[in-house]
């Protein structure tokens, strides 16, 4: 994989989807933060169904904290690991109120200090809510980066650093969204849909499939 190929890959992904968005439903940085915490080992569709019930009732740190763990659990019990997630969200809301005046912090260090927030979650919030240059690497992005040759690496952090290094600067801000959508709908884990792939001719994957 060389710079010219990477540039053409992201040019095409941009051409097909000029303004890529997360599939998590949110209207504020706080709503996004909570949705991302809830999305661990869960689908965006499942999270959106839960937050569609939760956010009309409580969508601020103060309001969700007032629900308590049991109250919040009633809204998110359809999501995997909801008990531990409820505890993390309630504690996160408490810290946001006490330490950040109810606002979502805009630094990685402050975000990662919140319960249930790791590097990936912090990167999603920094990139999506605050439009900072941050690369969140989930299972889809890790797979696509290695399979295509765009940014190979043995660990999530290694792939993150490779992407920040190799993705053309003009496309870096939205690269996370293009890659996750590509992994979710085209470059799928068990059987990639190479026959329908816009970047098949640029990809280094040696075991390409048809869509039959």
Sequence ranges of the binding site: 187, 194, 197, 203
Mention every residue, 6+ apart, whose C-beta is less than 8 A from residue 205.
Answer: 147, 148, 149, 192, 194
What is the three-class DSSP state of 111?
helix
Rounded Cα distance, 129 and 185, in Å: 23
Q: What is the DSSP string of 120-144?
A: HHHHHIIIIIT--S-----HHHHHH
Active-site residue, from 49, 87, 138, 206:
138
Active-site residue, from 120, 161, 201, 204:
120
Rounded Cα distance, 143 and 187, in Å: 8
| Residue 50 φ then ψ, to 5° | -70, -45
Positions at the binding site for [4Fe-4S] cluster: 187, 194, 197, 203
Let me know if 120 is a catalytic residue.
Answer: yes
Let me know if 87 is a catalytic residue.
Answer: no
Degrees, nearest 5: CA angle 96-175-120: 35
Catalytic residues: 120, 138
């Amino acid at each position: 994989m060389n710079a010219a190929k990477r540039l053409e890959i992201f040019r095409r992904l941009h051409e097909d989807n000029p303004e890529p968005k997360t599939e998590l439903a949110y209207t504020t940085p706080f709503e996004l933060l909570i949705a991302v915490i809830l999305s661990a080992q869960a689908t965006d569709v499942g999270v959106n169904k839960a937050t569609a019930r939760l956010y009309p009732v409580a969508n601020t740190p103060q309001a969700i904290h007032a629900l308590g763990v049991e109250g919040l659990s009633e809204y998110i019990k359809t999501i995997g690991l909801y008990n531990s997630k409820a505890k993390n969200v309630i504690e996160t809301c408490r810290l946001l109120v006490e330490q950040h005046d109810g606002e979502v912090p805009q630094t990685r260090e402050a975000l990662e200090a919140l319960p249930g927030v790791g590097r990936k979650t912090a990167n999603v919030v920094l990139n999506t809510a605050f439009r900072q240059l941050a690369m969140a690497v989930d299972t889809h992005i890790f797979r696509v980066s290695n399979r295509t040759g765009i940014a190979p690496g043995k660990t999530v952090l290694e792939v993150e650093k490779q992407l920040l290094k190799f993705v053309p600067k003009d496309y870096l801000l939205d690269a996370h969204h293009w890659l996750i959508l590509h992994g979710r709908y085209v470059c799928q884990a068990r059987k990639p849909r190479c026959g329908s792939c816009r970047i098949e001719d640029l990809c280094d994957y040696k075991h390409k499939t048809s869509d039959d």
